[in-house]
Structure 1
Amino acid sequence: MMVLKYCDDGNLRNYYLNNESNYYSKIYEFRQIARGLLDIHNAGKIHKDFHSGNILCHEYPYISDLGMCQPANSEKQSAKQEGIYGVLPYMAPEVLRGYQYTKASDIYSFGIMMNEYISEETPYNNIPHDYALSIKICKGLRPNIFKYTPKLLADLINKCWDAKAENRPTAKELYQKLNERYNDMNKDSESQVDEYDDKIKLNRTSEKRSSSIQTHPQAIYTSRLLNFKNLPEPVNSALFTEGFDCQLDESDLNEMNQDDENNIE
């Protein structure tokens, strides 16, 4: 049994929808979350279900829901045989293809979470979370990076969700980079930081903000069992990773949805 303080601010998604945070406070919180993930990895474990709903907020952010956590060298039955369990938008492409969770797949999930918090928008909220989306993720689709995100943080997010697991930073490297950023905020352009804070504050009060929290009825942010077949080899797509406003809408995926029932069990 693990006993935690009651986290009255809810999970991270509840927190950013109901509170205002500036860029520097987010860097501090990212550092704390990275520290927690590093502790998990240093213990030889993998979280396996890392997403904003499993980060609880009360003065500090806490990583919760360790029910799926397992040793990094687990010899359990392969995911290809038993299926995969998680929240699709946060799952690394190699995991979607049926390979075992690894420390690197936790880092991918961290990158999705980090981008969600910096943009204050849930990933892929306007399209179904189905087989078609999993194909696009393997082909390089990633959530929008908020246009005014300071470049140094945008670069770190992109490294975390690299299609090749070996190119992602380790939890130690991630913590060190965020710690350095927190201890030396001058690494980010002051004008970029100010512009981010101004734009994200404006975004919170805009009509676009009101619509951005409305999700597609088939956008599912709770963990579930998935078993996808015949997904392509993961790649980084310049189309998806070099631009900021590249997220597909439902019409872009309609032609692929007809195969959905034949490729998921």
Structure 2
Amino acid sequence: MQSKIDPHRVVFKWIPYDQFNDIKELGKDEFTTVYSAIWKDGPLQYDYKEYVYSRNKNIKVNLKLYNSRNNINNVLNKVTYLFDNKYDEIIYGLSQYPHTKNYVIVFPDGYHCDKCGKEFEYKRYKWCKPCQINNLEKNFTNWSSGNENIDNLIQEMQSKISSYEDIVFEWIPYDQFCNIKEIGKGGFSKIYSATWINGRLMYDISRCEYIRCSITIALKCLNNSQNISNEFLNEVKAYSVELDIYNFRNKRLHTYGISQNPDTKEYIMVLKYAKGGDFNCWMKKNYKNLNWSNKLDVLSNIIIGLEEIHQNKMVHHMGLCGYVNNIDQNSIYGVMPYVAPEVLKGKPYTRAADIYSFGMIMYFVATGKQPFVNYAHDEVLVLNICNGNRPEINVPEAPKCYIDLMKQCWDSNPNNRPIATKVLEFIDFFIGSYKNVVNDALDFKKVRLSEIEKQFKAAEEYRKSRLILYNENERSTIHPQAFYTSRLLNQFTKDLPKNDNINNNSVEVIDFTK
């Protein structure tokens, strides 16, 4: 280890055990015991002012004693791993307890929790996962929603936190909200902005402790939710990813907790407040400024989230979009143009149906227009969708490769639609081709890369040429019977045949990376 000395780090060495005073046990588990101690001579460190190595005497350290004297290989492997892979972690050296001959790793003070002795998951911020979960569990008796199923859900979600950045899901009393203002409504809910007086529980990395402060949040009040279903709660528990188009890095669902209106007894989802509104509002506001590079970034962010949902063996079309007390699997709900034809015909919602919806999102992102915006959303449109009708889009409004992928996603046959991982691969390939950031491993595909780059550049030039003609009022005008909020669709689908005799128009599957 000393041969790897870096002047930015202390010198790793063998430390005689009699160098330690004031030894106190911090905690133990089956394999190790952690102590705090004072190291008399202290570590050898480089003094940049004097240009010499010197010692910082009588410093506090942590001693991690391994409970078996025959585990020197395990100890050395641990040291080697930390030394080679955890550059920001310092190890002073090794020692040995003279009475039992057990080996000891010597760490700086602060690597282990003073309360339980466990190693901090995030040493820089002194965040201890076992202690935080223990504190939350101790607090279980201090609150209740009045609904055993909701209490169990919240407790389970709190017990699964794994990072200081994780949101602590809570039961939030309704009297914690003020300045409540309605900002939107859907088929099954109303959305309000409000001030959460105390604010959410969050970890302050500068103070290394949890704090609360008042914040603006969104309240999603769920219609007719007095008898909330177990199915809905299970989906909330499992649904840990949100398709967040505003933040290209953080795709975690910003759900702070659940509340209840004391007058109506309806349940409320407490969410992060997004100033831009929903996707539709955000697109209306920003479409003129979205170049093709931005559009691909938006789609990449969405499909990354969708891929993660699918990897967790879930679908995005969950109960949050419909009646929360509805367990009738025959109910069809959603935004009609985004619902896959097989779902309209009564088949179960699948991951392939999510991909169909993503194809419609691709159309919206490319054109700035909602799919079927000029049509009544009625039984005629349902029949047309099931017969293979799709929104019209042509080159050069979008690149040919983009249109081909979009058509694959909304193929009438769900078996022909690509999986989310494949769609992400294509979107990443488009981004790499257009931005010239494809890695060397794809050099052999330069001809294909060049062709796709030309397609996107042509689409971008077309977009720029049309900006002066862009009429926001025209794009925002929708048919009076077009609805882009989730609603029950059974009244429009009841006369559809339940078999696949309706036309099944499919497109050829193309690998854009070849």
- If the TM-score is normalised by the length of the shorter chain, which range does it land in? 0.7 to 0.9
**One-letter amino acid of the counterpart of residue 235, structure 1:** N
Question: CA shift at 1:204, angstroms?
Answer: 4.3
Show the 5 A alignment for 1:232-243: 232=497, 233=500, 234-237=502-505
Give the corresponding residue for 2:430. 181
Deviation of the 1:222 alpha carbon? 0.5
Cα distance change, pair 13–200 in 1 and its aligned pair in 2 (3 A)? farther
**2:486 maps to 1:223:** yes
Q: Deviations over 1:9-55 (max 9, x none)?
A: 33332223222111112112211110000111111111116xxxxxx
How big is the alpha-carbon RMSD for the aligned residues of Structure 1 and Structure 2?
A: 2.5
State which of 286, 302, 309 in structure 2 corresponds to 1:40.
309
Q: Deviations over 1:107-154 (max 9, x none)?
A: 000000111111111111111000000000011100122532111111
Give, in whole Å, the separation in 2 of the partners of 1:184 and 1:190. Answer: 5
Contact (CA 8 Å) 1:78, 1:99: kept in 2 or not?
no
Quote the residue 1:61 is aligned against.
none
Matched, 1:132 2:407: no
Deviating more after overlay: 186-195 vs 36-45: 186-195
Alignment partner of 1:21 out of 283, 290, 310: 290
1:122 is aligned to 370
Letter in 2 for 1:229: K
In the alignment, does 2:405 pair up with 1:156?
Answer: yes
Contact 1:47 1:68 in 2 (8 A): no
Distance 1:126 1:45 in 2: 33
Q: Shift in Å at residue 189 of structure 1?
A: 3.6
Higher relative contact order (CA 8 A, sep 6+): 1
**Separation in 2 of the partners of 1:205 and 1:223?**
34
C-alpha contact (below 8 Å) 1:127/1:216 kept by paired residues? yes
Q: Which residue of 1 aligns with 2:277?
A: 10
- Superposed displacement of residue 201, structure 1: 3.5
Alpha-carbon distance in structure 1 between the residues aligned to 2:426 and 2:433: 10
* 1:229 Cα deviation from its structure 2 partner: 2.1
> Using the alignment, how far apart are the partners of 1:161 and 1:192 within structure 2?
21
1:199-232 deviation per Cα after TM superposition (whole angstroms, max 9, x unaligned): 2344444266532320010000000011112325
Q: Which moved more, 1:22-31 or 1:195-204?
A: 195-204
Q: Secondary structure at the match of 2:404?
A: helix
Distance 2:462 2:494 in 1: 41
Letter of the 1:212 partner, please give it.
Answer: R
Q: Which residue of 1 aligns with 2:65?
A: none
Counterpart amino acid of 1:230?
D
Residues in 2 aligned to 1:216 and 1:77: alpha-carbon distance in whole angstroms: 30
Hey, what's the Cα distance between the residues in 2 that align with 1:94 and 1:131?
Answer: 15
The answer to which structure has the higher strand fraction is 2
Q: Which amino acid aligns with 1:22?
A: N
Aligned partner of 1:109 in structure 2 is 357
Name the counterpart of 1:246.
none
Aligned mates of 1:147, 1:207 — CA distance in 2: 18
Are residue 143 (structure 1) and residue 391 (structure 2) matched? yes
User: For 1:41-120, what aligned pairs fall within 5 Å after superposition?
Assistant: 41-48=310-317, 67-68=320-321, 78-79=329-330, 83-120=331-368
Task: Provide, for residues 158-193 of structure 1, a one-character-per-residue CA deviation record: whole Å limited to 9, x for no partner.
Answer: 000000001001111111221222233263544432
Aligned equivalents of 1:153 and 1:207: distance in 2?
22
Distance 2:306 2:484 in 1: 21
Greater CA deviation, 127-136 or 15-24?
Answer: 15-24
Aligned to 2:28: none
Give distance in 2, aligned partners of 1:18 and 1:197: 19
CA contact (8 A) 1:203 1:209 kept: no
Inter-partner Cα distance in structure 1 for 2:428 and 2:279: 20
Equivalent-residue separation in structure 2 for 1:209 and 1:22 (angstroms): 16
Measured in 2, the distance between the counterparts of 1:25 and 1:204 equals 16
2:456 is equivalent to residue 193 of structure 1:
yes
Q: Which amino acid aligns with 1:166?
A: N
Q: Is the 8 A contact 1:119 1:146 kept in 2?
A: no
Q: 1:139–1:235: 8 Å Cα contact kept in structure 2? A: yes
The alignment covers a number of residue pairs equal to 215
Structure 1 portions without partners, runs of 5+: 50-65, 70-75, 243-265
What is the identity, as a one-letter code, of the residue corresponding to 2:273? Y
Distance of 1:116 and 1:6 partners within structure 2: 23
Whichever residue aligns with residue 425 of structure 2, its letter is Q
Preserved CA contact (<8 Å) 1:84 1:98: yes
Greater fraction helix: 1
**Hey, what does 2:300 align to over in structure 1?**
31
